[in-house]
């Protein structure tokens, strides 16, 4: 490593020349100036392969032979040029068999990712030419390709093991996110469905729409408000009920502790989706047994529409979520409670503290400090609490003041409806970006407070 350090005043023409050569012909600096023959040839071969891919996937030979009169990238471009053309134009001719805008966009994105990696490799090649030239100039000894391969293996060992996971993440996570973000700047919706129609770039039109078109902005802010209320209320109710139950279970007068615990843990263990579908039927206003029972014992005269009255439906969703969500906090807080040193309470008792003071001054601060990361995580995941809303009400009941959203829709279920039911992909993508900023902000803030951030 010492060899690679720059000494002030030292002439570096040799290195610059080597890097300069490798800019045009990959590996040439390594081959001619550093005497690394095999490596130079390999690098050059890679460059040739990349160029060959472009030439032979397109119609470049015919073009150079003068057989094509009106050259365009749409018909005659190779993998790279055609891909970029697709991403830039999103297609020029509509109709089946012609340009399919979204497929072109997808291929364009993949093509850009490939180009990105080629660029990274290319830059590594130039930097390497520079460094190897310095080593050669100073030592006048050539590093054989074999030695270099050994050294290289040591350096890229981690990357080899990360490659499969990295590929998965790039194609399954990153690429779709790029696609979504780009969709927010197009007019991809039910009026522009490929292959029948073309999709076009529209700039920030959709964002303007969101803020200035009355129907969109009132829907967005309405749904947004309910999303926040939902996330806050859902998190706090489950947290405090969980804490309450844990403290009660911890009380010395309770017998059959494990029986109670075993029962109360069930909502956590039963698959959530199943529970939600069961509740949807249990609370069904027309046919469900709960509203039937209420009528029978005379509490209400008519059947209660738990899930189809806007306000009541919101309340019901929160109550069902409480049923689902309190056990995990109960388990966690029980764990914390069992670790609290009993001497603290004994000392407090000597000082004459009441049980409320004991809770307020000892139990709560300790429990809260231990569980606050979990609270924030639950809060962030409640923003994405798709299941509770979708399986209970499907976002309904319908709200005449909203555009494509129901009264109980939160952002994420609205996005789902916009995408699958109404095919408003562009607006859905705008909402995705909004949601992402929101959740990302909360989680990053939370994460910054914890230690893991510093020790990456």
Binders of other proteins among 360-379, rule CB under 8 A? 371, 373-374, 376-377
| Least spacing, CB of residue 25 vs other proteins, in Å | 26
Site residues for other proteins, 334-363, by CB under 8 A, read 335
Q: Is 127 left (phi over 0), alpha (psi -120 to 50) or beta?
A: alpha
| Shortest reach from residue 70's CB to other proteins, in Å | 29
Select from 106, 129, 223, 430 the one that contacts other proteins (CB under 8 A).
106
| Residue 103 lies near other proteins (rule: CB under 8 A) | yes
Nearer to other proteins, 34 or 283 (CB): 283
Nearest-approach distance from CB 282 to other proteins, in angstroms: 6
Within positions 56 to 95, which residues make up the interface with other proteins, using CB under 8 A?
none
Name which position in 71, 153, 161, 201 contacts other proteins (CB under 8 A).
161
User: What's the token pair of residue 128?
Assistant: 């390497």
**Within positions 166 to 205, which residues make up the interface with other proteins, using CB under 8 A?**
168-169, 171-177, 179-180, 183
Q: Choose, by CB under 8 A, the member of 27, 242, 288, 406 that binds other proteins.
A: 288
Measured CA distances, 6 to 1, 11, 182, 264 (Å): 11, 10, 43, 67
98 CB burial (10 A radius; 0-12, 13-18, 19+): middle
State the residue for tokens 């039927």: 281
Tell me if the bond preceding 225 is cis, omega within 30° of 0.
Answer: no
- The verdict on 221 binding other proteins (CB under 8 A) reads no
User: Are the CB atoms for 246 and 337 separated by under 8 Å?
Assistant: yes
- Using CB under 8 A as the criterion, what x/- string covers residues 114-153 for binding other proteins? ----------------------------------------
Give the CA-trace dihedral at 439, 445, 450, 455, to 10 degrees. Answer: 90
- Answer yes or no whether residue 407 interacts with other proteins by CB under 8 A: no
Q: How many CA atoms lie within 13 A of 294 on its CB side?
A: 17
Q: Which of 14, 32, 63, 323 binds other proteins (CB under 8 A)?
A: 323
Question: Which helix (H) or strand (E) element contains residue 190?
Answer: none
Give yes or no for residue 408 binding other proteins (CB under 8 A). Answer: no
223, 225, 234, 226: which is closest to 378 by C-alpha? 234
- Stretch of 14-22, 143-151, 219-227, 420-428 lying at the interface with other proteins (CB under 8 A): 420-428
CA atoms within 13 A on the CB side of 410: 26
Cα-Cα-Cα-Cα dihedral of 263, 267, 271, 273, to 10°?
150
Would you say 313 and 306 are in contact if contact means Cβ atoms under 8 Å apart? yes
Among 7, 96, 165, 297, binds other proteins (CB under 8 A): 165
User: With contacts defined by CB under 8 A, how many residues of the chain interact with other proteins?
Assistant: 93
Give the one residue of 67, 191, 253, 339 binding other proteins; rule: CB under 8 A. Answer: 253
Output 65 or 269, the one with its CB closest to other proteins. Answer: 269
The residue range among 39-47, 77-85, 133-141, 250-258 that interacts with other proteins, by the rule CB under 8 A, is 250-258
Nearer to other proteins, 289 or 365 (CB): 289
What lies within 8 Å, CB to CB, of 346 at 6+ separation is none
Site residues (CB under 8 A) for other proteins, limited to 437-456: 439-440, 443-444, 447, 450, 452, 455-456
- Rounded to whole angstroms, the Cα distance separating 51 from 383 reads 47
User: Burial of 142 by CB count in 10 Å (0-12 exposed, 13-18 middle, 19+ buried)?
Assistant: middle
Structure tokens at 244: 């309450």
* Residue 208 C-beta: closest distance to other proteins, Å: 22
> What is the nearest approach in angstroms of other proteins to the Cβ of residue 248?
5
Q: Are 218 and 400 contacting, i.e. CB atoms less than 8 angstroms apart? A: no
Among 279, 306, 402, 404, binds other proteins (CB under 8 A): 279
Helix-helix angle 214-250:425-449, to 10 degrees: 40
Spatial distance between the Cα atoms of 198 and 24, rounded to a whole number of angstroms: 39
Q: How far is the CB of 344 from other proteins (least distance, A)?
A: 21
Least distance in Å: CB of 194 to other proteins?
Answer: 10
Distance in angstroms (rounded) separating the CA atoms of residues 261 and 255: 11
Binders of other proteins among residues 292 to 321 (CB under 8 A) are: 292-293
Which of 272, 303, 305, 422 forms a contact with other proteins (CB under 8 A)? 272
Task: State the minimum distance, in angstroms, from the CB of residue 264 to other proteins.
Answer: 6
Residue with Cβ nearer other proteins (14 or 345) = 345
**Applying CB under 8 A, does 239 fall inside the site for other proteins?**
no
Contact status: 113 vs other proteins (CB under 8 A): no
Q: Where are the beta strands (DSSP E) in 3-78?
A: none
Residue 140 or 154: the one with the smaller Cβ distance to other proteins is: 154
């Amino acid at each position: 490593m010492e060899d690679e350090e720059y000494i002030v005043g030292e002439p570096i023409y040799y290195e610059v020349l080597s890097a300069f050569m490798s800019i045009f012909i990959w590996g040439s600096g390594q081959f001619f100036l550093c005497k690394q023959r095999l490596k130079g040839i390999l690098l050059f071969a890679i460059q040739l392969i990349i160029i060959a891919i472009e030439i032979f996937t397109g119609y470049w030979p015919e073009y150079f032979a003068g057989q094509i009169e009106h050259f365009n990238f749409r018909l005659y471009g190779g993998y790279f040029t055609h891909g970029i053309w697709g991403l830039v134009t999103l297609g020029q001719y509509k109709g089946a068999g012609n340009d399919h805008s979204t497929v072109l966009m997808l291929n364009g994105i993949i093509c850009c990712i490939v180009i990105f990696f080629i660029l990274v490799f290319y830059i590594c090649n130039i930097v390497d030419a520079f460094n190897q030239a310095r080593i050669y100039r100073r030592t006048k000894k050539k590093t054989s390709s074999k030695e270099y391969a050994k050294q290289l293996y040591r350096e890229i060992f981690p990357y080899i093991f990360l490659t499969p996971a990295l590929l998965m993440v790039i194609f399954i996570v990153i690429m779709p996110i790029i696609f979504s973000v780009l969709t927010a700047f197009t007019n991809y919706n039910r009026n522009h469905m490929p292959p029948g129609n073309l999709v076009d770039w529209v700039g920030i039109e959709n964002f303007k729409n969101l803020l200035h078109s009355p129907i969109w902005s009132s829907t967005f802010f309405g749904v947004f408000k309910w999303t926040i209320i939902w996330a806050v209320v859902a998190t706090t109710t489950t947290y405090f009920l969980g804490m309450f139950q844990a403290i009660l279970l911890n009380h010395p007068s309770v017998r059959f502790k494990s029986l109670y615990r075993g029962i109360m843990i069930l909502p956590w263990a039963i698959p959530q989706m199943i529970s939600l579908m069961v509740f949807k039927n249990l609370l069904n206003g027309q046919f469900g047994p709960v509203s039937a029972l209420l009528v029978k014992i005379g509490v209400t005269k008519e059947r209660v529409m738990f899930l189809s009255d806007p306000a009541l439906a919101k309340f019901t969703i929160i109550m069902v979520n409480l049923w689902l969500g309190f056990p995990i906090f109960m388990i966690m807080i029980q764990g914390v409670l069992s670790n609290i040193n009993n001497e603290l309470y004994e000392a407090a008792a000597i000082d004459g503290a009441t049980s409320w003071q004991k809770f307020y001054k000892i139990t709560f601060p300790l429990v809260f400090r231990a569980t606050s990361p979990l609270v924030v995580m639950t809060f962030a995941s409640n923003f994405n609490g798709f299941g509770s809303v979708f399986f209970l009400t499907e976002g309904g009941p319908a709200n005449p003041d909203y555009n494509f959203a129901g009264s109980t829709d939160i952002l994420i279920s609205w996005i789902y409806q916009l995408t699958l039911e109404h095919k408003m992909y562009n607006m859905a993508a705008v909402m995705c970006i909004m949601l992402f900023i929101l959740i990302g902000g909360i989680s990053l803030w939370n994460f910054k407070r914890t230690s893991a951030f510093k020790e990456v």
